[in-house]
Amino acid sequence: MGSYKMFGIFNRKFKTEETGPPEDVVNAFTKYSDGGKEMSADQLLRFLVEFQGQADCTLSHAQDIMKQLHHLSDPNFLSINDFCYFLVNEQLNPPISHQIHQDMDSPLSHYFIYTGHNSYLTGNQLSSDCSDAPIIEALQNGVRVIELDIWPNSSGDDVNVLHGRTLTTPVKLLKCLSSIKEHAFVASEYPVVITLEDHLTPELQAKVADMVTQTFGEALFVPDSEGIKQLKSPNSMKKRFIISTKPPKEYLQAKKVDKDETNSPQKVKDGDEGAWGKELTSLKLGTTRDKQDDDDDDDDDKSNLKGAPEYRRLIAIHAGKGKGGLDDWLKVDPDKVRRLSLSEPELEKAVATHGKAIVRFTQQNILRVYPKGIRFDSSNYNPLIAWTHGAQMVAFNMQGYGRSLWLMHGMFRANGGCGYIKKPDFLLKAGPDNEIFDPETALPPKTKLKVTLYTGEGWYNDFKDTHYDSYSPPDFYARIGIAGVEADTVMKKTKTQEDTWIPNWNEEFEFPLTIPELALLRVEVHEYDMSEKDDFGGQTCLPVSELRSGIRAVPLHSKTGDKYNSVKVLMRFEFV
């Protein structure tokens, strides 16, 4: 019954205040109840179709809604309070659909894919523990691409997962693989891609091939031949595992491997100043190259003449940059699909000179973007640059909480949260004159999103009386805006509602959008503090293309992305 409180039905902490429903809510009830004091299922249906824009709604659906409002004294009619209760119920009246509704029969390269970076790290990039726990959590949240850095253990007879040349403590590869198998399809049944950053000898590559084959069995996708011409679709690969890494090379002569360059974290911890120690020093000084993606480097320190053929056979999506520069990296081979990985700075430089070439490349091939090497704190970057250029795998540190990760969470709430989002048509094919989409071209607004923020509630349920202020109710304000292409990106702010647990803003905002397909609606609530930094009150990001028109209950999340039990805002969305 907590949702009644938004409209002043119950007393609130510190003081009582009577606040009626927003005028738009009262007017809608009056209109669709034909001026009466009660609304029938037929009238509710008309409201859902005409006002909420749910054209496919049926009378049966309206009746089901009324049945789920268990407190009704008469299950055949809604009072104004019942109507309000329905509107602020996020289960019955969510801002976006929770159903998978996009075409899932196109090649994988046609989708944005929910992608993790260094998926095994529990914290920072230098000294945190490696574990299968963050991998499990990522999969449970719908992440579909898991990255594992694989190295020899200290004795050279087994394979560990860890961030190489740092003080991160290792976890065994087999444990990670087993956890991936167990949790892969809890949140989504669409395929899981495992990207391997491989630092192994051929003997250990053969061991990995055996581990992978034994763990995943028939669920492992093994390509018929080397060099896939076109990737399969998410639908055709349900509950399958896909391996992507740089294929092992053949060598004309053996290279001697310094023992200090094998993966022995214990040696480093004991003060060994070999290659590891030097690399760690450079990391601390911020001078290291962007080394996370060694699977695309041309150099290699493997000592044997030939990579294990059984390992090579399992690689479904080949990674690699080639010998040349950007022109060579972005060449499209009509007979072969591959994956290119670029660091965050590499992408920024590439889009300045090769923007359309990147878009063309991603129409058939996979582009993976990963954080720059100096993000030791596991922070993230603006994903919109990569998405705007068609990058499918925008790899994020899922433990790196902050606004960038909020955008990632928001993007992948789309399409039922299944981890695959169909890219807009303009990123998938050439235009009528065979032109390629140019993200740098200024475009006129395609639509305008009108957002009304009415009110908020739930903080009094989820937080202590004194969480924000010791002697008075909180002073809430909201920031609302768009994250998208540069022309669409903006943030606006409401007035502060003082001394109330249930702020009533009743403010309207308009956002012209040139590329609504890639826009995210940002909502943040803060509590104003005159003497210190303002306190955090909740946030969410929602894909604009998925917003349902009408008056909607919008749940808010914590800084770490966890949905609050009760905190929500009531908003209206209109496309004009």
Task: Name the DSSP class of 423.
Answer: P
328: Cα separation from own chain's centroid: 30
Question: Measured between alpha carbons, how far is 349 from 216 in angstroms, rounded to an integer?
Answer: 39
How far is the C-alpha of 379 from the C-alpha of 123, rounded, in Å?
10
Contact, 439 vs 485, CB < 8 A?
yes
Q: Which amino acid is at 50?
A: E
Q: Which residue intervals of the chain bear CATH 2.60.40.150?
A: 444-576
Q: Where in the chain are all domains bearing CATH 1.10.238?
A: 1-87
Which long-range contacts does 267-272 make (Cβ < 8 Å, 24+ apart)? 267/154, 268/167, 269/167
Which one, of 124, 100, 127, 95, lies nearest residue 111 by Cα?
Answer: 100
Nearest CA to 398 out of 390, 408, 388 is that of 408
CB 243 within 8 A of CB 316: yes
Residue 245's pLDDT is 97
The fold of the 444-576 domain, in CATH, is Immunoglobulin-like (2.60.40)
Give the active site residue among 98, 101, 110, 117.
117
- Rounded CA separation 429/69 (Å): 47
Query: What is 110-121 written as a DSSP string?
Result: GEEEEEESSTTB
* Structure letter (DSSP) for residue 437: P
* Amino acid letter for position 427: L
How many other CB atoms are found less than 10 A from the CB of residue 392? 27
**DSSP-derived secondary structure for 375-418:** -TT-----THHHHHTT-SEEEE-TT--SHHHHHHHHHTTSGGG-
**Which regions of the chain carry the CATH code 3.20.20.190?**
108-251+258-428
Asked if 61 is an active-site residue, the reply is: no
Distance CA 407, CA 207 (A): 39
> Is 117 marked active-site?
yes
Type of residue found at 463: F
Residues 6 or more apart in contact with residue 408 via CB below 8 angstroms: 114, 380, 383, 394, 396
What lies within 8 Å, CB to CB, of 376 at 6+ separation is: 124, 125, 126, 283
Residue 219: Cβ within 10 Å count: 16
Query: Is the CATH number of domain 108-251+258-428 3.20.20.190?
Result: yes
Longest dimension (CA), the chain: 88
Nearest residue to 317 (alpha-carbon basis) of 395, 244, 366: 244
CA angle centred on 229, ends 408 and 311, rounded to 5°: 80
The active-site residue out of 70, 101, 163, 318 is 163
Q: Return the CATH number of 1-87, one of 2.40.10, 4.10.240, 1.10.238, 1.20.120.
A: 1.10.238
pLDDT by 10s per residue, the chain, length 576: 344 456 654 333 444 455 789 999 999 999 999 999 999 999 999 999 999 999 999 999 999 999 888 677 777 899 999 999 999 999 999 999 999 999 999 999 999 999 999 999 999 999 999 999 999 999 999 999 999 999 999 999 999 999 999 999 999 999 999 999 999 999 999 999 999 999 999 999 999 999 999 999 999 999 988 778 899 999 999 999 999 999 987 543 344 444 444 444 433 333 333 333 334 444 443 333 344 454 454 444 464 447 799 999 999 999 999 788 999 999 999 999 999 999 999 999 999 999 999 999 999 999 999 999 999 999 999 999 999 999 999 999 999 999 999 999 999 999 999 999 999 999 999 888 889 999 989 999 999 999 999 999 999 999 999 999 888 999 999 999 999 999 999 999 999 999 999 999 999 999 999 999 999 999 999 999 988 899 999 999 999 999 999 999 999 999 999 999 999 999 999 999
- Separation between Cα atoms, residue 477 and residue 378, nearest integer Å: 29
- What tokens does 236 get? 């055709």
Structure tokens at 267: 């040696």
Whole-angstrom Cα Rg for the chain: 26
